[in-house]
Chain A
């Protein structure tokens, strides 16, 4: 459409220019004629005074001539313009003629110049016409800027929104690449994400194992050296026989007052840990100065960081047992720098396989704790809600003389257990105890060996199922129960 309009305009311009050119041509012709006449005149003027008189045939009207003479050949009457005449000699006439000739010549030159200009315009218009109608050799140069434009636009935007898990890896990958590669990178992103999730599952399993092991070690610490050796034995046995139950049975006799299942769980965890090569996980929270570790009673009434002890133990055990494990991997595995590490380390153990824990808050550290036996009561509490937890806590305070410790112990894991309580159980936090509670031993008699560990196993899943039969012992403080159980 634009071309059509353009062509119309061009045509009009073309015609106009042509007309101007024609006009100029006509004028030039006229002036050329005039100049020719004047040249003839000058010639005549030059020859006329040669003779005094000339015999000529004088025209009489349009059709007749008369013989006559031409006299006063030097006298010429010249028209000056506007009906004015002047009598002058031929020479003067010549001057006048020359004068006029000058004028005529200037006119001709001007006209010729304009004609040239218009002729150039005509040429230009013709070219425009050809361009507009897209014929001839003139072509509109057009460049497709779509692709280049996109690249130019997106060249700066190398990064795409990645999921937090995969971000650190992918940023390095994508920054240097271009659009196409970026797409590949996005695809890559998804695959790495999947890998990461798989890894997370693995790590959760590991974590479970670790927690079990920790619990085991914790119990060992509680009882002194024997337990450590026992745990080491357990670990050894765990290495040999991955079966959980078998371990439990084998380990049950040596431990005194300990849950076989706990040990089994711990051993299993240890097992898995050993197999997986993971060590005690240590979660470092930014808001807390010290790592979130369980304070344990080392038997000498000294407070130690649970994890430290465990780490030492783990390290020693590891050194003893596994030649392949080196300190580096040990530390690296322990080190938690990203959320991925958390999931890696905190793994549940189910049926002898590491299963990624659904919630790291629901850590097996609970199992490590003394009050792991109170899972039953906690399960019961779960039905009633959190206030049951509070009740149990208060109960604990009132009933026990060492509640000071219990209180302090409660406080630290309170935040965690409450969180977890919201999910499945009222309380499943880590338990901190400063010293053994022999006085508490006679208190608690209710701690069915079979149920708690099972509950622990099924903390995330089947807690409600186990709850009903445990309404009765609910009242008993969990800490107490745990302590009793442990002792």
Chain B
């Protein structure tokens, strides 16, 4: 009885750890997106400040590719939107993961209690 509980407990613990990892991953991704968001906002502002006389280059690997100002602006804007979308997605994902992790946590605690009781009984018996 106790052994079965113990196995069960272990499985549950593993699941819980996995979930926790997912949560942390999503968290970090979201943070990245947030920085990119900030950066792109700055780029947009800068591009707005520039006039057509200046040429804009985009770094693609080791190559600087000449870009049109308007295109650059558009690109940056699109990127920004993309980033925002990504952030929202990640946020929802994070919420789901957190809920799941909480449920799992409760399950784990109950299992732990049962296991302790079983162990206590076993000790008593012994």
Q: Give complex CA distance A87, B59 in Å.
A: 13
Query: Using an 8 Å CB-CB cutoff, how does the interface string of A61-86 with B read, 1 for contact, 0 for none?
Result: 00000000000000001101111111
Query: Which residue among B54, B55, B64 has the maximum number of chain A CB atoms within 10 Å of its CB?
Result: B54
Chain A hits for B79, CB < 8 A? 82
* Nearest 7 Cβ contacts at the A-B interface: A81-B39, A85-B57, A83-B59, A80-B43, A81-B43, A80-B46, A87-B55
Inter-subunit contact A81/B42 (CB<8 Å): yes
Inter-subunit contact B57/A82 (CB<8 Å): no
Chain A hits for B60, CB < 8 A? 83
How many A-B contacts at CB < 8 Å in the complex? 61
Interface-lining segment among A13-21, A92-100, A338-346, A463-471: A92-100
Measured CB to CB, the closest approach of chain B to A49, in angstroms, equals 16
B126: CB under 8 A from chain A? no
Q: Is the interface on chain A under 10, 10 to 19, 20 to 34, or 35 or more residues?
A: 10 to 19
Chain B hits for A92, CB < 8 A? 49-50, 54
Inter-subunit contact B57/A86 (CB<8 Å): yes
A88: CB under 8 A from chain B? yes
Chain B hits for A84, CB < 8 A? 43, 47, 56-59, 67, 72, 76
Q: Give complex CA distance A103, B45 in Å.
A: 13
Inter-subunit contact A82/B36 (CB<8 Å): yes
Measured CB to CB, the closest approach of chain B to A90, in angstroms, equals 12
Q: Give complex CA distance A77, B59 in Å.
A: 12
Closest to A89 in B: B54
Q: Give complex CA distance A89, B49 in Å.
A: 13
Closest to B56 in A: A86
Q: Give complex CA distance A84, B77 in Å.
A: 12
Measured CB to CB, the closest approach of chain B to A97, in angstroms, equals 11
Q: Which A residues are within 8 Å of any B CB, using their own CB?
A: 77-78, 80-89, 92, 95-96, 99, 103
Inter-subunit contact A80/B59 (CB<8 Å): no
B40: CB under 8 A from chain A? yes
Query: Which residue among A78, A86, A87 has the maximum number of chain B CB atoms within 10 Å of its CB?
Result: A86
Q: Give complex CA distance A78, B39 in Å.
A: 14
Closest to A100 in B: B42
Measured CB to CB, the closest approach of chain B to A182, in angstroms, equals 59
Measured CB to CB, the closest approach of chain B to A118, in angstroms, equals 22
Inter-subunit contact A82/B46 (CB<8 Å): no
Inter-subunit contact A82/B50 (CB<8 Å): no
The 5 listed contacts between A and B (C-beta, < 8 Å) are: A81-B42, A83-B58, A84-B67, A87-B57, A92-B50
Inter-subunit contact B54/A85 (CB<8 Å): no
Q: Give complex CA distance A343, B79 in Å.
A: 115
Query: Which residue among B46, B59, B76 has the maximum number of chain A CB atoms within 10 Å of its CB?
Result: B46
A81/B40 contact (C-beta < 8 A), A86-B46, A88-B50, A96-B49 known: yes
Query: Which residue among A87, A96, A103 has the maximum number of chain B CB atoms within 10 Å of its CB?
Result: A87
Inter-subunit contact A87/B56 (CB<8 Å): yes
Contact of A87 among B43, B49, B54, B58 (CB under 8 A): B54
Chain B hits for A83, CB < 8 A? 58-60
Query: Using an 8 Å CB-CB cutoff, how does the interface string of B16-55 with A read, 1 for contact, 0 for none?
Result: 0000000000000000000010011011011101100011
Q: Give complex CA distance A84, B74 in Å.
A: 12
Closest to B36 in A: A82
Chain A hits for B47, CB < 8 A? 80, 84, 86
Q: Give complex CA distance A84, B72 in Å.
A: 8
Query: Which residue among A77, A82, A86, A89 has the maximum number of chain B CB atoms within 10 Å of its CB?
Result: A82
Contact of B56 among A81, A85, A96 (CB under 8 A): A85
Q: Give complex CA distance A53, B49 in Å.
A: 28
Inter-subunit contact A80/B42 (CB<8 Å): yes
Measured CB to CB, the closest approach of chain B to A442, in angstroms, equals 108
Chain B hits for A82, CB < 8 A? 36, 39-40, 43, 76, 79
Closest to B57 in A: A85
